[in-house]
């Protein structure tokens, strides 16, 4: 009897594990699942009923079966049907209750979105590709109760820097629907191309949609190179209508973005009178921020209102995005009309003028029954009364806006910029910079700690952005978006994780099993799941190196200094400089890419470190210990776990060796990426001393100017001391004419190598 019970218990445990982790491979994860035994079979004789309110969901299911299995469900009465969609007002907004028994599928929802998402869940419960055996497909019996944590679950696509045709945009939107994301932010205008037909201003597209050539390689390359090829394209209003209709049938709302007053060079090149100087300028051929912005003249406002009058009727959603970011004020400073306007309107400065600009546009948009969204710069100089803020320069803009009782969408560069590198391996396709691996997206919490429960209600949700300066092809768009979008969808639907180390492996297992589904959808996703992560561990003055890989049932093989390779079982003791090489094996076969790491066993590795300020939470993955753990950061990814980022702070780093040591040399380096507002500091000093109470002012503190290479390499004169202090002065506020002008500069510092 007992044996039988144990057997049953084991059976249910193993069944649960299997079913939850593997068979039910749902992304985003539903709020609650109760799995039962047995299946429900759909075949040509299965019947369907839906109320007219749920037509989009019902039709979607039928189209899906038609395309995948070659048949549709016959419609019949609610009583007779095997699959029924019924209205149940007790279901949460956009939520659903799905009950699959042996004879019936019942879906309850209070709105059309909920019914639609129940179908997306059904879709993910079915095998992919849908290859019915004898015309039958099977679903597991279960109950799912589900609803989204956030009402805004967005994805953006920049179609200005590179143009993607309407068919691709539709595919992109269809993939959002699969992941229960409900907003598509369509970036339609920018310096490098105007992409939407405006009948009243035909030159916006005949001229403004084409640039003479495009930068090749990275913006920071010297010299910059260009391809010499004319490039462009645009959507006609008919194209837009087709995409909007497609989005409607996928329960996705499109938010068009018409950028103003900055990022307007393409428009000004078509109509030079919209700028302050009136001179003919070209559509931009390189990336970055440009001085030529819309001039706040009556003529410009008339133009923008006419443009918006054509844009607004095309998009049924409630929002129009008006940009508002990165508008350098140089032209306005040198323009007599602008200066007079500042006086006449009694404004403080050009920021006040920007605020006036946005508020005036907001009034117009509101008068047409729509609301504006703007990037967080619209906070500067006073927020337009009804505006929703997209917080991109970190979370602070969102915090400020929520405290002012404005709706907020979180989209900070640190967690939602999918144009950043997703792997630190050197062979990734060229990207703008940064480093945003899957796990970091998964760790995202759109609700900042700084907000109380009332204020947090203003955070509508989050969005990931795909800026396409370095993304010329559809394949590369998908490579950058997938699988990171799976993490964003789970964060915004299921809610942010409060136990990353526990939830992430479960998520990754589902991502691994989701890949065949992505293959069936012909999505060119990136696969970094089989990469290895290395980490220094310290225990009683001993140093170990730990290797992990994120998916289950894999083996790691490693070698030290090219010696014979061994199967990894426990952290490796490190007592001298070491080169570790490793690979992941799945069922005896090598998968993923080669891993290697150089560990420098320098004098700092067993020391203790303290900082005068903590690193910015967005760039603190390795903690302060990362600066003395023997591992250098990546040459191209400042967001990895070896670099630490500080926003605007002067640094004072103290290293305690525990006893007096002789220091012969000192090396470190800083990151330079003006496009991301990262500037190497101007000054660096260090001091070696023995007593924390010592008056350091009396000591000779060498001073170093930091040049463009941003590297420190000091031969000290065999100085002895227990402590080493580094003093690093932040670059300061970024001056005009430089990337990020007016903002505080970031300082990024790498390993401090002490020998
Ligand atoms: C900043 S996000 C921008 C974009 C760039 C992006 C590149 C924002 C409002 N402005 O114009 O494409 O960085 O990461």
What is the distance in A from the centroid of ligand 1 to the CA of 467?
Answer: 7
What is the distance in A from the centroid of ligand 1 to the CA of 260?
Answer: 14
CB atoms within 10 A of CB 112: 18
Query: For ligand 1, atom 7, which residue shows the shortest CA distance?
Result: 467
* Cβ–Cβ < 8 Å for 337, 276: yes
Contacts with 499 (C-beta within 8 Å, 6 or more apart), sequence order: none
Confidence of residue 8 (pLDDT cuts 50, 70, 90): very low
Per the structure block, which two tokens stand in for 310?
């054509």
> Given the CA of residue 289, which atom of ligand 1 is nearest to it?
11
pLDDT value at position 132? 66
- CA 552 to CA 40: how far, in whole Å? 30
Per the structure block, which two tokens stand in for 88?
């149940």
Query: For ligand 1, atom 14, which residue shows the shortest CA distance?
Result: 467
* Catalytic residue chosen out of the listed positions 146, 158, 190, 640: 190
Half-sphere exposure of residue 754: CA atoms within 13 angstroms, side-chain side: 30
- CA 656 to CA 640: how far, in whole Å? 25
Q: 19 pLDDT exceeds 50?
A: no
Per the structure block, which two tokens stand in for 321?
């995005």
What is the distance in A from the centroid of ligand 1 to the CA of 413?
Answer: 9
* Cβ–Cβ < 8 Å for 129, 520: yes
Ligand 1 pocket, 419 CB below 6 A? Answer: yes
589-603 tens-digit pLDDT: 999 889 999 999 999
pLDDT value at position 618? 84
Per the structure block, which two tokens stand in for 284?
């931009």
Residue 263 annotated among the catalytic residues of the structure:
yes
Beta bridge partners of 323: 260
Ligand 1 pocket, 432 CB below 6 A? Answer: yes
What is the distance in A from the centroid of ligand 1 to the CA of 276?
Answer: 23
Mean pLDDT over the full length of the chain? 93
Confidence of residue 697 (pLDDT cuts 50, 70, 90): confident
> Given the CA of residue 411, which atom of ligand 1 is nearest to it?
2
- CA 546 to CA 558: how far, in whole Å? 11
Mean pLDDT of 671-687: 89
Query: For ligand 1, atom 13, which residue shows the shortest CA distance?
Result: 467
25-44 tens-digit pLDDT: 999 999 999 999 999 999 99
Q: 656 pLDDT exceeds 80?
A: yes
Ligand 1 pocket, 203 CB below 6 A? Answer: no
Q: 17 pLDDT exceeds 70?
A: no
Q: 707 pLDDT exceeds 80?
A: no
Query: For ligand 1, atom 5, which residue shows the shortest CA distance?
Result: 467
47-105 tens-digit pLDDT: 999 999 999 999 999 999 998 888 999 999 999 999 999 999 999 999 999 999 999 99
How many residues are given for the chain?
755
Query: For ligand 1, atom 4, which residue shows the shortest CA distance?
Result: 467
Query: For ligand 1, atom 10, which residue shows the shortest CA distance?
Result: 325
> Given the CA of residue 190, which atom of ligand 1 is nearest to it?
11
Half-sphere exposure of residue 49: CA atoms within 13 angstroms, side-chain side: 14
> Given the CA of residue 432, which atom of ligand 1 is nearest to it?
14
Using only the alpha carbons of the chain, give its radius of gyration: 29
Ligand 1 pocket, 65 CB below 6 A? Answer: no
Per the structure block, which two tokens stand in for 642?
């070896």
What is the distance in A from the centroid of ligand 1 to the CA of 421?
Answer: 15
> Given the CA of residue 469, which atom of ligand 1 is nearest to it?
12
Ligand 1 pocket, 326 CB below 6 A? Answer: yes
Ligand 1 pocket, 49 CB below 6 A? Answer: no
Residue 673: DSSP 8-state: B
Contacts with 27 (C-beta within 8 Å, 6 or more apart), sequence order: 124, 179, 486, 489, 490, 507, 510, 511, 514
Q: 22 pLDDT exceeds 60?
A: no
Ligand 1 pocket, 362 CB below 6 A? Answer: no
What is the distance in A from the centroid of ligand 1 to the CA of 653?
Answer: 32
Query: For ligand 1, atom 8, which residue shows the shortest CA distance?
Result: 325
- CA 247 to CA 253: how far, in whole Å? 6
What is the distance in A from the centroid of ligand 1 to the CA of 417?
Answer: 9
Residue to mutate (ligand 1; options 188, 326, 389, 674; most atoms within 8 A of CB) = 326
Query: For ligand 1, atom 12, which residue shows the shortest CA distance?
Result: 467
Ligand 1 pocket, 467 CB below 6 A? Answer: yes
Q: 426 pLDDT exceeds 60?
A: yes
What is the distance in A from the centroid of ligand 1 to the CA of 587?
Answer: 43
Residue 190 annotated among the catalytic residues of the structure:
yes
Identify which has the larger pLDDT, 349 or 382: 349
Ligand 1 pocket, 88 CB below 6 A? Answer: no
- CA 231 to CA 465: how far, in whole Å? 23
Ligand 1 pocket, 213 CB below 6 A? Answer: no
pLDDT value at position 15? 38
Ligand 1 pocket, 479 CB below 6 A? Answer: no
What is the distance in A from the centroid of ligand 1 to the CA of 399?
Answer: 20
Query: For ligand 1, atom 6, which residue shows the shortest CA distance?
Result: 467
Ligand 1 pocket, 417 CB below 6 A? Answer: yes
What is the distance in A from the centroid of ligand 1 to the CA of 324?
Answer: 11
230-257 tens-digit pLDDT: 999 999 999 999 999 999 999 999 999 9
- CA 276 to CA 292: how far, in whole Å? 8
pLDDT value at position 634? 86
pLDDT value at position 1? 44
């Amino acid at each position: 009897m007992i044996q039988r019970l144990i057997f049953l218990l084991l059976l249910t445990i193993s069944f649960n594990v299997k079913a939850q982790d593997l068979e039910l491979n749902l992304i985003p994860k539903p709020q609650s699942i109760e799995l039962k035994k047995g299946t429900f079979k759909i075949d040509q004789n299965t019947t369907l009923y839906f109320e007219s309110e749920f037509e989009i969901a019902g039709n979607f299911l039928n189209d899906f079966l038609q395309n995948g299995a070659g048949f549709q469900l016959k419609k019949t009465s609610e009583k007779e049907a095997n699959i029924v969609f019924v209205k149940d007002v007790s279901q949460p907004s956009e939520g659903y209750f799905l009950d699959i028994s042996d004879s019936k599928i019942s879906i309850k929802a209070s709105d059309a979105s909920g019914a639609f998402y129940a179908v997306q869940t059904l879709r993910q419960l079915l095998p992919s590709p849908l290859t019915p055996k004898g015309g039958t497909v099977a679903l597991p019996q279960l109950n799912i109760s589900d609803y989204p944590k956030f009402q805004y679950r967005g994805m953006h696509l920049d179609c200005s820097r590179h143009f993607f045709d309407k068919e691709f945009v539709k595919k992109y939107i269809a993939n959002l629907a699969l992941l229960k994301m409900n907003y598509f932010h369509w970036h339609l205008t920018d310096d490098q191309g105007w992409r939407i037909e405006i009948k009243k201003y035909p030159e916006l597209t005949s001229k403004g949609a084409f640039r003479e050539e495009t930068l090749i390689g990275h913006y920071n390359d010297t010299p910059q190179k260009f391809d010499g090829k004319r490039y462009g394209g645009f959507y006609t209003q008919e194209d837009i209508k087709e995409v909007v209709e497609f989005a409607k049938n996928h329960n996705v709302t499109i938010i068009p973005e018409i950028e103003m007053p900055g990022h307007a060079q393409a428009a000004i090149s078509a109509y030079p009178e919209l700028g302050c100087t009136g001179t003919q300028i070209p559509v931009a051929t390189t990336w970055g921020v440009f001085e030529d912005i819309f001039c706040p003249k009556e003529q410009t406002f008339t133009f923008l209102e006419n443009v918006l009058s054509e844009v607004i009727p095309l998009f049924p959603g409630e929002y129009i995005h008006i940009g508002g970011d990165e508008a350098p004020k140089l032209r306005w400073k040198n323009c007599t009309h602008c200066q007079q306007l500042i006086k006449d309107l009694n404004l403080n400065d050009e920021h006040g003028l920007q605020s006036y600009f946005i508020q005036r546009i907001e009034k117009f948009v509101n008068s047409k029954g729509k609301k504006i969204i703007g990037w967080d710069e619209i906070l500067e100089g006073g927020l337009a009364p009804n505006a929703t803020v997209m917080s991109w320069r970190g979370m602070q803009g969102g915090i400020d806006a929520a405290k002012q009782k404005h709706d907020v969408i979180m989209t900070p560069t640190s967690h939602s910029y999918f144009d950043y590198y997703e792997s630190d391996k050197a062979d990734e396709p060229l990207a703008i910079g940064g480093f945003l691996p899957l796990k970091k997206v998964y760790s995202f919490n759109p609700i900042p700690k700084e907000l109380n429960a009332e204020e947090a209600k203003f955070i509508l949700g989050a969005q990931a952005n795909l800026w396409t300066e370095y993304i010329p092809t559809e394949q590369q768009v998908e490579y950058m978006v997938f699988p990171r979008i799976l993490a964003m969808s789970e964060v915004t639907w299921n809610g942010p994780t409060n136990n990353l180390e526990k939830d992430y492996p479960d998520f990754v297992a589902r991502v691994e099993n989701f890949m065949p589904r992505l293959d069936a959808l012909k999505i060119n996703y990136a696969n970094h799941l089989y990469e290895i992560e290395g980490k220094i561990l310290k225990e009683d003055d001993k140093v170990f190196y730990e290797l992990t890989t994120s998916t289950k049932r894999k083996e790691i093989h490693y070698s030290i200094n090219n010696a014979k390779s061994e199967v990894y079982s426990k952290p490796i003791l490190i007592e001298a400089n070491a080169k570790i090489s490793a690979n992941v094996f799945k069922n005896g076969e090598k998968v993923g890419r080669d891993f290697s790491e150089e560990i420098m066993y320098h004098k700092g590795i067993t020391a203790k470190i303290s900082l005068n300020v903590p690193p910015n939470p967005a760039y603190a993955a390795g903690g302060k210990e990362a600066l003395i753990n023997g591992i250098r950061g990546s040459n191209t990814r400042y967001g990895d776990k070896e670099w630490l980022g500080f926003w605007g702070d002067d640094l004072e780093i103290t290293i305690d060796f525990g006893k007096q040591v002789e220091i012969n040399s000192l090396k470190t380096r800083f990151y330079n990426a003006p496009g991301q507002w990262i500037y190497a500091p101007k000054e660096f000093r260090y001091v070696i001393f023995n007593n924390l109470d010592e008056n350091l002012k009396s000591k000779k503190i060498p001073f170093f100017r930091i040049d463009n290479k941003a590297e420190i390499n000091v031969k000290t004169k065999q100085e002895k001391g227990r402590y080493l202090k580094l003093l690093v002065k932040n670059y300061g506020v970024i001056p005009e004419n430089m990337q990020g002008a007016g903002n505080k500069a970031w300082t990024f510092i790498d390993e401090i190598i002490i020998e």
